[in-house]
Amino acid sequence: MGNKKNPWLSKQKSDLYYKKSKAEHHRARSYYKLKEIDAKYHILSINGRFPKKIIDLGAAPGAWLEYIKDQYISRFETPFSNKFKVVGVDLTSIRPFNEISNITTVRLDVFKKECEDLLKQSAPWDVILSDLAPKTAGDFRDVAIQEAMVQKVLYFSRYLKIGGNLIVKVFQSENTNIIFQEWAPHFHLFKRMKPAASRSKSRELYLIGKGYKGK
C-alpha cells in the first residue's frame, strides 16, 4: 500500500535497493552504487593494494564509508591498521563508526576554505569520492549547485596521489560532455557509469577517474 501523505516515501519503500539495504542493514541504498562501481572499476585498488587514504565528500549517512569498511575487513580480516585513514565529510553529522577509529567524520561545507585545508593537510590522497548532492528541492538552482560541486571535486583532484582514483556524482546536462572532455586527459582511464542501484529516472551518473596523471 502506498503512502498517500508522502509519495516520495512510498516510492522509496517500494524500491528494490531500498528494501535490500534495509534487509542487509546498510545505512542507505547508495551502498550498492559504490559496490557496483568498485566491482567494475576497482576504485578501492591502487596498484593492486587497498588505498591508504580515502576521503568521501558528501558522505552522510555513511553508506559509502560502510562499504569501504566492509571491503577492508573482507580483504584483511583484521581490525583497521593505523596505516589507513578514511575521512567522511558532510554538512550533516554522520553516525560514528565507533568500532573503527581510522574512519573519522567531519561536519564541513565543501565550498568552505576549511574543506580544502583538510584535503591539503593530508594530501596526497589515494582516493577521492564524491556523492555530493544539493540539499534543496529539485529546481533549476540545484543544477547550478550540483555543477559547482562537480567542479569543486574535480579541482580537489590536485590533492590526489599520482595514480590515484576519483569518483564524482554528476547530474547529466549539456555540460557533462564538456566536463568529461576537460578532465579525461588528467586520468589514465576516465569513464561514466550509471549503476543499476541508481534510479532510472534520475539524471544522476558517476564520472570515474582511474590513475591520476597530475594537473
Ligand X SMILES: C[S@@+](CC[C@H](N)C(=O)[O-])C[C@H]1O[C@@H](n2cnc3c(N)ncnc32)[C@H](O)[C@@H]1O
Q: Which of 14, 95, 111, 113 binds ligand X (CB under 6 A)?
A: 111
Among residue numbers 160 through 199, which ones bind ligand X (CB under 6 A)?
Answer: none
109 binds ligand X (CB under 6 A): yes
Going by C-alpha positions, the residue among 134, 135, 137 that lies closest to residue 169 is: 134
Query: Could you tell me how many residues of this chain bind ligand X (CB under 6 A)?
Result: 22
Site string for ligand X, 4-43 (x = CB under 6 A): -----------------------xx-x-------------
Q: Which stretch binds ligand X (CB under 6 A): 4-12, 16-24, 128-136, 190-198?
A: 128-136
Tell me the C-alpha to C-alpha distance, in Å, between residue 34 and each of 25, 29, 98, 154, 194. Answer: 16, 10, 22, 18, 11
Q: Least Å distance between CB 162 and ligand X?
A: 26
Among residue numbers 69 through 108, which ones bind ligand X (CB under 6 A)?
Answer: 89-92
Measured from the CB atom, is 92 or 181 closer to ligand X?
92
Catalytic residue selected from 33, 69, 169, 210: 169
**Which amino acid, residue 42?**
H
Residue 169: active-site member: yes
Site of interaction with ligand X (CB under 6 A) = 27-28, 30, 58-64, 89-92, 109-111, 131-135
Catalytic residue IDs: 169
